[in-house]
Amino acid sequence: MPGPCQNRSVKKLVFIPAWNEEKSIEAVISDARAHVPDADVMVVDDGSTDRTAELSRRAGALVASLPFNQGVGAAHQTAYIFALRNSYGICGQLDGDGQHPASEVARLIESVQAGADLAVGSRFSPNATPGHPGYKASFARRLGQRLFSLLVSTSTRQTFTDTTSGMRALNVRAMELFAERYSSEFAEVESLQQAVRAGLNVEEVPVHMLARAHGDSFITPLTSAFYIFKTLIVLLIGQLRPRQVGQ
Q: Residue 243's pLDDT is what?
A: 64
- Collapsing DSSP to helix, strand or coil, 121 comes out as strand
Confidence of residue 130 (pLDDT cuts 50, 70, 90): very low
Residue spans per domain, the chain: 4-137+162-216
Which run of H or of E encompasses 92? strand 90-93
Distance, CA of 60 to chain centre: 22
Contact 215, 23 (CB under 8 A): yes
Residue 3 has pLDDT above 50, yes or no: no
pLDDT at 190 over 70: yes
What is the pLDDT averaged over residues 56-70? 97
The more confidently predicted of residues 27 and 241 is 27
Q: Is 19 left (phi over 0), alpha (psi -120 to 50) or beta?
A: beta
> Would you state the pLDDT for residue 247?
44
pLDDT of residue 150: 85
The distance between the two most distant Cα atoms of the chain, rounded to a whole number of Å, is 48
Which of 69-78, 103-112, 154-163 has the weakest average pLDDT?
Answer: 154-163
Residue with the larger pLDDT of the pair 187 and 221: 187
| pLDDT category of residue 135 using cuts at 50, 70 and 90 | low
Query: Under CATH, which number does the domain 4-137+162-216 receive?
Result: 3.90.550.10
d(CA 191, CA 196): 9
DSSP 139: H
